[in-house]
Copies of this chain bind each other. A is one copy, B any other.
Amino acid sequence: MTTAAANHEEGQKAAQAEAAILDAARDLLAAGGVDGLSMRHVAEQVGISATAIYHYFEGKQDLVNRVVIHAFQRFGAYLTTAMESHPEGSVERISALGEAYLTFALENQAYFRVLFSMQPKDPAVFEEVPEGGGYHLLRRAVADAIEVGSIRADTETGPAEAGTVTHADLVSMYLWSTAHGLVTLALCGASSRCECGGLPSVIDLYRSFIPFIAGGIAAQRGGQEEPDK
């Protein structure tokens, strides 16, 4: 066996071990969140000792980060496919993106909790996600819609302008906030505070928001748009 081949095989074996650890970590994390992921459980599942993991990962945080990065990629792919079936620049494309956001969050709750945990143990993870796990897609869809004319263009952007934030960025952040807020409230159980007889599903709620997002909630358009205290 040549050295190169040996190295390659070894590298493959190492990669396999790493992948096995990541798989086990992913399962445990999806099942019980970051607290349910313990080094010893991961090791047990893989069939090695707990400390062996430290040969491949720097520690638990590193292991979690790697899982999170992978989850962000899956998340991005999920959003992309949901979006692609609608024409560029269309409002449908954006609302499909929103619904996919909610669906992924609800179907992969433990994942989503870790992705957007408010306890970012290591905020640097966000930098490592290639192509931005979602925002770039939204941003582009919004920019297209503005260009096509489905979304109205700038009407004297407000206070945030100071930091050279574009109108498309503002609209994107706004839409992101709405979808994200809805689903995080649902996931933390706060929605139950609104004792609306039969709790509507999150998706139904989101669809009910669309008219507000499109047309606003003010009595007449252009009315009290600037109630800046």
Contact = CB atoms under 8 A, between A and B. Distances in A.
A200 to B, nearest CB: 4
Given A218-B151, A223-B214, A209 B177 contact: yes
Given A126-B190, A215-B216, A217-B171, A165 B91 contact: no
A205 B176 CA distance: 12
A203 to B, nearest CB: 8
A60 to B, nearest CB: 13
B139 A194 contact: yes
A54 interface: no
Interface string A32-57: 01010000000000000000000000
B181 A176 contact: yes
Q: How many copies does the complex hold?
A: 2
Interface string A193-219: 110111110001101111111111111
A163 B198 contact: yes
A219 B152 contact: yes
**Of A118, A170, A176, most B-chain CB atoms within 10 Å:** A118
A116 B174 contact: no
Interface in A117-156: 117-120, 123, 126, 132-135, 139, 149-152, 155
A84 to B, nearest CB: 14
B210 A221 contact: no
Contacts of A33: 119
B158 A207 contact: yes
Given A90-B227, A173-B185, A221-B221, 17 more contacts: A35-B119, A116-B185, A157-B208, A159-B208, A162-B200, A165-B197, A165-B208, A169-B196, A170-B208, A170-B212, A171-B212, A174-B208, A177-B178, A177-B179, A214-B216, A214-B218, A215-B225
